Structure 1
């Protein structure tokens, strides 16, 4: 899929194959973070970006 320009930035699809997320994507992350099994989790970063940060050097 070709890159598109939006404003001054080049827009490209996320590595997971969709151009943008949907409301259930971050909502699922919130449900995960609110789970009682994570009561001892601290200092974690959860990126909900379709893999854009993992693929930023491409």
Structure 2
């Protein structure tokens, strides 16, 4: 009983991780990939500058 309940909870959490359930992930990456990459690059650059400046 406990194992079945735990598996159901894990499946529910995994479903909530998807950015947009009704849109395939490939399409989401194609639309937002460049913007996400730019944000990640900028945040890494700022973090590095603050780390060495401080």
- TM-score, normalised via structure 1 length: 0.33
Q: Considering only CA atoms, is the larger Rg found in Structure 1 or Structure 2?
A: 2
TM-score (norm 2): 0.34
* Structure with greater strand percent: 1
With a CA cutoff of 8 Å and minimum separation of 6, indicate the structure with the bigger relative contact order. Answer: 1
Give 1 or 2: higher helix fraction.
2
